[in-house]
Amino acid sequence: MTLLAENKVTIVTGGARGIGRATSLLFAKEGSKVVVSDILESEGMETVQMIQNAGGEAQFISCDTASEEDVALMVERTISVYGRVDNLVNNAGVEHISTIIDMERSDFDRLSSINLRGVWLCMKYVIKAMLKHGNKGSIVNMSSLAGNVGYAGLGAYVMSKHGVNGLTKVAAIEHSADGIRTNSICPGCIQTPMIDNLAAAMGNPEAKEQLAAMHPIGRLGTADEIAEAIVWVCSERASFVTGSIFTVDGGWVAQ
């Protein structure tokens, strides 16, 4: 028996790799049809292929979440292919390393356009579709330990993830009574291409070990561990859970 009810449809943004890929695979394994959405077409198609090879159902839809036109089309295509959308995993995101005084406006704007505007746009179009088709739903916004605490050199990223948690709370207040639950997941450092880039930018061969040691659990997390939390939040087992900011961070913010 699968964790999710039959015939559910889940959109995962940033589903081409990392946490988004692991999440897409787990949703499919737990019985959902999956729309894998990303700007990386070949890696996104690879995620779809992995799902299909395991006997699941998935489609790739190219979408830059910073673009309102792309997001509107992605949701429209999901409805035209599957007739509904039940879950949105608002996962696409980027990092940028710079102190507040050294940060360029173009980097700040680019990061905000994906990590904040993109999250809002996806919620806007998916919630409208859920309301129009009269189905209940679940939205998971991908935040971070950086949505709960600051981290030097990650000002724009920290700002965006705190903002994501704010959007989560407001969406939960505005739409829980419609049957649409919204929650944030705040991972610690997870072994994905993003953490490889971050460690490389720290310019220190020990960077990944140092990041791992900052978690009380003593290691980095895996994308699969984050996917487990996301799928649970979207399942009926979490039917009273909305407006929550979940830490899945190996104990980072407990310190």
Ligand X SMILES: NC(=O)c1ccc[n+]([C@@H]2O[C@H](COP(=O)([O-])OP(=O)(O)OC[C@H]3O[C@@H](n4cnc5c(N)ncnc54)[C@H](O)[C@@H]3O)[C@@H](O)[C@H]2O)c1
Q: How many residues at the interface with ligand X, by CB under 6 A?
A: 29
Tracing tokens 């949701």 back to the chain, one arrives at 75
CA 41 to CA 47: how far, in whole Å? Answer: 10
CA 21 to CA 58: how far, in whole Å? Answer: 12
The nearest distance, CB 166 to ligand X, in angstroms, is 16
Interface region with ligand X, contact rule CB under 6 A, candidates 63-71, 99-107, 122-130, 172-180: 63-71
Among 35, 88, 194, 230, binds ligand X (CB under 6 A): 194
CA 143 to CA 162: how far, in whole Å? Answer: 8
The answer to whether residue 45 forms part of the interface with ligand X (CB under 6 A) is no
Interior CA angle at 97 toward 91 and 103, to 5°? 115
| Binding mask of the shown chain, residues 103 to 142, with x at each position contacting ligand X by CB under 6 A | -----------x---x-----------------------x
Given a contact cutoff of 8 angstroms between Cβ atoms, the answer to whether 86 and 137 are in contact is: yes
Determine which one of 82, 125, 151, 157 is catalytic.
157
82 is catalytic: no
Among 56, 137, 155, 187, binds ligand X (CB under 6 A): 187
User: What count of other Cβ atoms lies within 10 Å of the Cβ of residue 22?
Assistant: 23
CA 136 to CA 112: how far, in whole Å? Answer: 29
H/E segment holding residue 5: none
The phi-psi region of residue 179 (left if phi > 0; otherwise alpha if psi is between -120 and 50; otherwise beta) is left
Output 138 or 160, the one with its CB closest to ligand X: 160
For residue 208, what are the contacts with CB-CB under 8 A and spacing of at least 6? Answer: 195, 196, 199, 220
CA 174 to CA 180: how far, in whole Å? Answer: 9
Q: Scanning residues 135 to 164, which ones bind ligand X (CB under 6 A)?
A: 142, 144
Tracing tokens 């990944």 back to the chain, one arrives at 208
Output 28 or 92, the one with its CB closest to ligand X: 92
Q: Scanning residues 23 to 42, which ones bind ligand X (CB under 6 A)?
A: 38-40
The answer to whether residue 16 forms part of the interface with ligand X (CB under 6 A) is yes
Q: Scanning residues 64 to 83, which ones bind ligand X (CB under 6 A)?
A: 64-66
| 3-state class (DSSP) for residue 89 | strand
The answer to whether residue 91 forms part of the interface with ligand X (CB under 6 A) is yes
Among 35, 71, 156, 195, binds ligand X (CB under 6 A): 195
Among 88, 94, 97, 126, binds ligand X (CB under 6 A): 94
The catalytic site residues sit at 157
* Sites of contact with ligand X (CB under 6 A): 13-14, 16-20, 38-40, 63-66, 91-94, 114, 118, 142, 144, 187, 189-190, 192-195
